[in-house]
Amino acid sequence: MAEINETVSRTFDEYLLLPGLTTKGHYPEQVSLKVPVAKYRPGKEEPYCLGIPFTSAAMQSVSGPDLAIALARKGGCSFTFCSQSIEEQAAMVRKVKEHKAGFVDSDSNIAPDDPLSKAIALSKKTGHSTIAVTEDGGRHSRLLGILTDKDYWETKDDPRLPVRYYFTPLERLVCAKEGVSLEEATEILHKEKKECLPIVDDSGNLASLVFRKDYFDHKANPLELTDEKKRLFVGAALNTHDYLKRAETLIEAEADLFCFDSSDGYSEWQKDAALQLRDRYGRKIILGGGNVVSADGFRFLVEEADLDFVKVGIGGGSICITREQKGIGRGQASAVIEVAAERDRYFQETGIYVPICSDGGLNNDTNIIMALALGADFVMMGRYFAMTEESPTPKVNYRGMLYKPYWGEGSSRARNWQRYKESDKDEDAMFFEEGVDAYVPYSGSLADKVDTTLAKLRSTMCNLGVLSMDKLHKNARAVRVSAMTLVESGTSRVEQFERMPTEKL
Ligand code: MZP
């Protein structure tokens, strides 16, 4: 007969946090959200850290290069998805790595004989008001000048005339030579009171652009997550099929973090793959795995597979139907609580701290806060990021509201890939789906969204009287809530005539 665990499987909505003493020293600006992302010996080693406890899911409709750049700039990390060819994934990693903070590869370029109408259309398409005018309109050909929206009046000037009638020619521009440092470029912008500084190579070809606004943007993102060469951080998902070749190519592309992407990581497939990679690369790579929902799953991945972090969660994802289809999984709160307790036991026994990540099913900011308070070191989110401007899917207008497509890695839309295959034998088989193909409301820029969530997290931490994530784990006190408490938690006996659209998201 089956062993029955009578404890109820619970979700984050079933808990509330009790405030602790907030002293006068507890204010949001004092809160540190740094979290370890790879196993380490506290007190003996410095951990490898994320600036904020957020990662984005390794999913086709979530973690493209634009999202990875935007998230790393806030202090988190994206996991580029492995349900694409190895070369495509490596190109995504390279795109993030090549995004030198400050030096922008110009994506709006035009030739001098092109009509103004083409420049206006280009500016609307890219959303950029600065257009480089180059000999043949290419992004790295000879720079002839710059056209900005201050050089023409859209409703007054003749759109049929060529751009050369309007642009500011090279001789009236301030430029810098390739090789200039970002600090030097910023100094030039400051001294010359310019908005944009073109960087050219020895032959006069456009290399990149440096913008004044990016300096302020950089100052506004003090937690930006970069490697030792000051390039943005990016992660890469691996599967348990082509992992040797994929890891090799992604290491060459200089991905910073690796993680097996599997709905059920408590498997010999993952152990074998992890050990082979460890054998080949030792501790030079940070390698996570999962997903698990129980203490024994965690132990297996840490002790047998030697992984650096473990992802927790089966069946809670917003697009996931694994529990309905196969009957496996666990309420996300129960899974995090059990695995976090095992992580702490493992630390007591060995002195080694193995971070855990709560993956999937975080439906609102409170769920995120609860996941972290109940023991997760960081979270992984799909839906949350799929809704943002920077996710790789186009906005869709449906009945006057904007949406973005969002589909599961186990849906038929992503079906040609290996995540849901159990062994090499069923290479082409997929008898049922574990994910759906859906839409999520558009929620604007990632930066604004993350700032709001982090403001709530910092505020909650002050309520609890803690200023760091490890203190949050140690001091948080949660209580279970009844159905009536949930009713009480919402508004009661008041009429709300109008709500901001974002309040419903
Ligand atoms: P969510 O943040 O949208 O709720 O969940 C994202 C997580 O769902 C991913 O990180 C992954 O673990 C999981 N996922 C991705 N695809 C599927 C599926 O097709 C899935 N079933 O469950």
pLDDT along the chain (505 residues), means of 10: 92 97 95 98 96 98 97 97 96 89 85 96 88 94 95 93 95 94 92 95 94 84 88 96 97 97 97 98 96 98 98 96 94 98 98 98 96 98 98 95 96 71 51 93 96 98 98 98 88 75 51
Q: Which atom of ligand 1 is nearest to the CA of 384?
A: 2
- Contact of 235 with 69, CB cutoff 8 Å: no
Task: State the distance from the centre of ligand 1 to the C-alpha of 13, rounded, in angstroms.
Answer: 19
- Contact of 197 with 174, CB cutoff 8 Å: yes
Q: What is the model's pLDDT at position 504?
A: 47
Task: State the distance from the centre of ligand 1 to the C-alpha of 319, rounded, in angstroms.
Answer: 6
Q: Which atom of ligand 1 is nearest to the CA of 411?
A: 19
Q: Can you read off the two tokens belonging to residue 85?
A: 């060819």
As a whole number of angstroms, the distance between CA 382 and CA 3 comes to 33
Q: Which atom of ligand 1 is nearest to the CA of 386?
A: 3
Residue from 320, 368, 406 whose mutation best tests the ligand 1 pocket (most atoms within 8 A of CB): 320
**Protein residue closest via CA to atom 20 of ligand 1:** 320
Q: Can you read off the two tokens belonging to residue 460?
A: 């909650």
Pocket flag, ligand 1, residue 317 (CB < 6 Å) = yes
Helices 182-192 and 212-219 cross at an angle (nearest 10°) of 120
| CA nearest to 361, candidates 335, 342, 394 | 335
Pocket flag, ligand 1, residue 290 (CB < 6 Å) = no
Q: What is the model's pLDDT at position 428?
A: 47
Task: State the distance from the centre of ligand 1 to the C-alpha of 427, rounded, in angstroms.
Answer: 22
Task: State the distance from the centre of ligand 1 to the C-alpha of 410, rounded, in angstroms.
Answer: 8
As a whole number of angstroms, the distance between CA 268 and CA 263 comes to 14
For the annotated catalytic residues, the residue numbers are 320, 419
Task: State the distance from the centre of ligand 1 to the C-alpha of 253, rounded, in angstroms.
Answer: 26
- Contact of 247 with 277, CB cutoff 8 Å: yes
Pocket flag, ligand 1, residue 59 (CB < 6 Å) = yes
Residue from 319, 324, 421 whose mutation best tests the ligand 1 pocket (most atoms within 8 A of CB): 319
Pocket flag, ligand 1, residue 334 (CB < 6 Å) = no
Q: Which atom of ligand 1 is nearest to the CA of 435?
A: 19
Residue from 54, 82, 263 whose mutation best tests the ligand 1 pocket (most atoms within 8 A of CB): 263
As a whole number of angstroms, the distance between CA 126 and CA 121 comes to 9
| CA nearest to 38, candidates 399, 395, 304, 353 | 353
